[in-house]
Chain A
Amino acid sequence: MRGLHAFALAIAGCSTAAGSAAPAPVPVVVEHRPSSRSCKPEAPVAVTLSTTVIDPRRSAVVVTATPTRDVDALEVALALPPELALEVGAPKLHFVDVGAGEARELRAIVRLDGRRGELAAIARVPADGVVMARTVAAWLGEPVAPPVTRTYALPDGELAQEVRP
């Protein structure tokens, strides 16, 4: 999924001495914007997804969409897998006549209830009659364990990283 996976931070402080304050949750931010060297057609909008753990059951989410050209319409949306639920906020917001560089936000609280899933933030804008979208995603909850691999060189020097059963 686009962007580095953002893993929710484990809540610290369970075994800390009484009276010491738990460190403030740190937002995990993923961003995707039009690339100067990308040669596939791309939506003229940048998207940032910020997730902050509130407690083991909930995360605060902020989606920021910033068009890179004037647009007639801008839609900002969250796409949640079945494992996640929206507790506070709207899943989708619509804006009109947004100028280049003007940011629009969607704020929400997502409930995990001990589960995990990939949350996607989407910005949709029209460009020459085509509704284009840009998506960023972040994992909420415990990360998925990566597959077991081994790396080695092949006879011609090429390197391989092999997934083992």
Chain B
Amino acid sequence: MRRLGLGLGLGFALAAVAACGDDRAGAPDEEPVAPDGGGGDDDAAANACAAAGIPADGDVVRCAGGDRIETEDCGDGGSCAVTGGTATCLTAEVCAGVGPLGRCEGDVLWRCDGAPALTDCATTGQVCGYADDTTGYACVDAAGLGAFVVRGRVRWEDRPLSPGQLGTPVPVPARGVMISVLDDANDTTLATVSTSDDGSFTMRYDAAPSARVRVTAYSRSRAPARPVRVRNASGYLHAVGSPAFAAGGAEPVDLLITVTAGAAAWNALDNMVSGMDLVRAHGLTAMSPLVVYWQQGSATGSYYQGGSNTLQLDGDDGWDDVVALHEFGHYLQDEYSASDNPGGAHDGSPADPRLAWGEGGATWFAIAARGVPYYIDYAAGGGWHVELEDRVHAASLASSMAQNISEWMVAELMWDVGDGSLDTDGDPMSPGDRTAVFDVLIGYLVAPGAADRGRAGVDLVDWLDGWFMHHGMASCAAMRALVRERYRFPYDFAGPAGACP
């Protein structure tokens, strides 16, 4: 098996000879080396991936303007591949449509397990297919995979959320969604795979030649990287199926899960997928399974239940991405960070600092995941929302570090610390870093022997202590300006990391 970048390069490049041979006035001093023994064929070299180090690993070599060769640096994390006779950079952006399970395009395998890479499975006599829920798509032997193949794409209708309104339905790819082909006569599952992050799937199966089958998408992600299922109030997975078709026919089979068919269940699933991707991106790899309950019309309220790792979404929170990610934030606290939230009804007013930490921390996760500093709870008539970048729900410098505080203040402060390029209020911690905020959540707060200051139990004081433990004292002045002057919170800047000057 060879990587396309170096393997298919010659064949494709020869087939796509460019007019770069005559005028080399603009060519670089350093001649690129054609791949796979193609040295000396200038035209072949003109649409290829450069060999390692010549001129730079990962660079693309191509014609420009029809008469000169240019190179392109694919950048950090990028790689080069030749497809359709054209050498192109595969940047991290292409991975948005691939995901952790890879993707098949015919028998070409896309993987993004680091730098993006393409592999032509046919060069080794294999096909691109679904290996298992851990590996996802891979080059696999065709024998035993099933006589029939069905490909297609699954999308669901999203209703984009913004303060005070829901947008009109927009089809978006179903990422990592469980999909099966079933015998339509008896609902027997014949094969099960997962969609790639562009919603595409390739599924091989066996069925009696006369059988009629259908393709069905479920509100579940089976990959260990994203172990989530969304059930209705009766405990059933939501599912949407295609019309039945003759086994081996009707390719491709595309599914669109509409709003009326229950697309909000896939919206909930997609939010959990986003949350788990974000958690994994910050170094946590083993994801605990999560079960979400949502059903149109239910009146359960929205809450997370530790122990069973279940998350209830109220019937009218199906499109509420921020509410869903807020509850996912509680899952994060429960499984990978720390919270001593006593729970109960709360409205943002100053409250027990353990509750303020638990709720404010969960809200920070939600707005950080979206990159939009608004808490939004949509409902008919607009619902309500609160802006968390410019607003200040201040504490009192005249009180103690154990005072009751607003959960909004916790979210506002954490957003200011980590908002980086999203900063618009010029807070003292700009530019911040979301990863730096995350480090404390999954580091100091769960570290053995971490000090417990402020109110007994995990609260904002402990997170501030952890900030300096993780990141040193260089930010003392900026944090003092943010915490004491902007938020009027009397943090003493004398935690276990030492005293700020």
A residues with CB within 8 A of B: 1-5, 32, 34-44, 68-69, 77, 79, 118, 120, 122, 124, 127-135, 137, 147, 150-152, 154-155, 158-165
B359 touches A41 (CB 8 A): yes
> How far does the alpha carbon of A17 sit from the alpha carbon of B396 in the complex, in Å?
73
B381 touches A77 (CB 8 A): yes
Across-interface contacts of A127 in B (CB, < 8 A): 347-349
> Whole-angstrom distance from the CB of B355 to the nearest CB of chain A?
9
Across-interface contacts of A134 in B (CB, < 8 A): 379
B315 touches A1 (CB 8 A): yes
CB closest chain-A residue, reference B241: A162
Across-interface contacts of A35 in B (CB, < 8 A): 301, 303, 345
- Which listed residue, B241, B304, B316, B327, touches A1 by the CB 8 Å rule? B316
> Whole-angstrom distance from the CB of A106 to the nearest CB of chain B?
13
A132 touches B384 (CB 8 A): yes
Across-interface contacts of A135 in B (CB, < 8 A): 316, 379-381, 383
Cβ of B419 under 8 Å from chain A = no
> How far does the alpha carbon of A159 sit from the alpha carbon of B235 in the complex, in Å?
7
CB closest chain-A residue, reference B386: A130
- Which listed residue, A77, A128, A131, A161, touches B406 by the CB 8 Å rule? A128
B344 touches A1 (CB 8 A): no
- Which listed residue, B240, B330, B391, touches A163 by the CB 8 Å rule? B240
> Whole-angstrom distance from the CB of B367 to the nearest CB of chain A?
13
Cβ of B236 under 8 Å from chain A = yes
Cβ of B234 under 8 Å from chain A = yes
Across-interface contacts of A150 in B (CB, < 8 A): 187
A161 touches B187 (CB 8 A): no
Across-interface contacts of B491 in A (CB, < 8 A): none
Across-interface contacts of A122 in B (CB, < 8 A): 379-381
> How far does the alpha carbon of A154 sit from the alpha carbon of B383 in the complex, in Å?
38
> Whole-angstrom distance from the CB of B48 to the nearest CB of chain A?
47
- Which listed residue, A5, A39, A77, touches B297 by the CB 8 Å rule? A5
B375 touches A41 (CB 8 A): yes
B239 touches A163 (CB 8 A): yes
> Whole-angstrom distance from the CB of B391 to the nearest CB of chain A?
8
Most chain B CB neighbours (cut-off 10 Å) among A1, A39, A132, A160: A39
Q: How many A-B residue pairs have CB under 8 A?
A: 159
B residues with CB within 8 A of A: 180, 187, 189, 192, 216, 218, 220, 229, 232, 234-243, 260-262, 296-297, 299, 301-304, 314-317, 323, 326-327, 330, 341, 343-350, 358-359, 362-363, 375, 377, 379-384, 386, 391, 393, 406-408
> Whole-angstrom distance from the CB of B249 to the nearest CB of chain A?
17
CB closest chain-A residue, reference B304: A39
A152 touches B261 (CB 8 A): no
**A3 with B384: in contact, given A39-B359, A160-B218 (CB under 8 Å)?**
no
A4 touches B189 (CB 8 A): no
CB closest chain-B residue, reference A151: B236
- Which listed residue, B235, B326, B384, touches A131 by the CB 8 Å rule? B384
B381 touches A161 (CB 8 A): no
**A2 with B314: in contact, given A38-B302, A160-B237 (CB under 8 Å)?**
yes
B380 touches A160 (CB 8 A): no
B316 touches A130 (CB 8 A): no
Most chain B CB neighbours (cut-off 10 Å) among A36, A158, A160: A160
- Which listed residue, A1, A41, A43, A165, touches B380 by the CB 8 Å rule? A1
> How far does the alpha carbon of A163 sit from the alpha carbon of B234 in the complex, in Å?
15
A120 touches B379 (CB 8 A): yes
> How far does the alpha carbon of A40 sit from the alpha carbon of B235 in the complex, in Å?
23
> Whole-angstrom distance from the CB of A40 to the nearest CB of chain B?
5
B379 touches A3 (CB 8 A): no
Across-interface contacts of A39 in B (CB, < 8 A): 302-304, 327, 330, 341, 343, 346, 358-359, 362
> How far does the alpha carbon of A70 sit from the alpha carbon of B69 in the complex, in Å?
74
> Whole-angstrom distance from the CB of B114 to the nearest CB of chain A?
31
B323 touches A163 (CB 8 A): no
Residue pairs across A and B with Cβ atoms less than 8 A apart, 22 shown, are A2-B299, A2-B315, A32-B299, A35-B301, A36-B345, A38-B303, A39-B358, A40-B326, A41-B346, A41-B347, A42-B346, A120-B379, A120-B381, A128-B406, A128-B408, A130-B348, A130-B384, A135-B379, A161-B239, A163-B241, A165-B241, A165-B242
